[in-house]
Amino acid sequence: MTALQAIAMGLVLVILDVRVEGWDLIADPLGWGLVVVGLTRMRGPVPRGTLLGLAAVAGVISFVSVDGALLESLDPSLAWLISLVELAFDITLATVVADVLADSRPDLARRLRALRWFFVAAAIAPVMIFGAGIEVLLVPVALLVIGTYVYYILQLFVAAKPYELATTTVPDEGLSA
């Protein structure tokens, strides 16, 4: 399994919610653990410290999602604030992978760069929905976010092999921030 495949599989576990009596059977912290494993295996010009920091914070925060009662008791503004860490991770990772693939797979790099804007929209949408009281947008935005994550994860799987090939000759700069 390549580094990006491990990260993508971890994100699959993060977005899957299989609940029994309110408890998430596929705990998000397990997914973030797999993401961290993938990050430690990434080669090339990777801001590993930033990505590992964001993944670690997201993993710790995700313990809230294991207990459905606790998750549902959160104020929507606090839930939005918590989601910003995950969105920052996704934007950063998409940028890193797109930059590495810019020459070898410009089509894939463009898709990953475009996905960043969907994540930015996901970050600001709750302000409009809850802050401005446009709650009619809640379901369409939720569907758009779910679709964005599914497409993003698929793109990470597609990028896994080209990323490995592109970084085999690039010096490891994994300690940069």
- Asked whether residue 117 is assigned to any structural domain, the reply reads yes
- Asked whether residue 57 is assigned to any structural domain, the reply reads yes
- Asked whether residue 85 is assigned to any structural domain, the reply reads yes
- Asked whether residue 15 is assigned to any structural domain, the reply reads yes
Q: CA-to-CA distance for 11 and 38, rounded, in angstroms? A: 11
Burial class (CB in 10 A: 0-12, 13-18, 19+), 50: middle
**Beta-carbon contacts of residue 6 (< 8 Å; ≥ 6 apart):** 34, 35, 37, 38, 41
Which residues form the domain of 66? 3-167
For the chain, list residues with pLDDT below 50: 175-177
pLDDT at residue 45, as a whole number: 85
- Asked whether residue 177 is assigned to any structural domain, the reply reads no
pLDDT at residue 18, as a whole number: 83
Number of domains within the chain: 1
Q: CA-to-CA distance for 134 and 136, rounded, in angstroms? A: 5
pLDDT at residue 114, as a whole number: 97
Please tell me the pTM assigned to this model.
0.88
Structure tokens at 138: 């809640």
- Asked whether residue 176 is assigned to any structural domain, the reply reads no
- Asked whether residue 38 is assigned to any structural domain, the reply reads yes
Euclidean distance between the first and final Cα of the chain, in Å?
Answer: 25
- Asked whether residue 174 is assigned to any structural domain, the reply reads no
pLDDT tens string 5-39: 999 999 999 999 887 887 777 788 999 999 999 99
**Of residues 165, 9, 32, 12, the one with CA closest to residue 97:** 165
**Containing H/E element for 65?**
helix 63-66
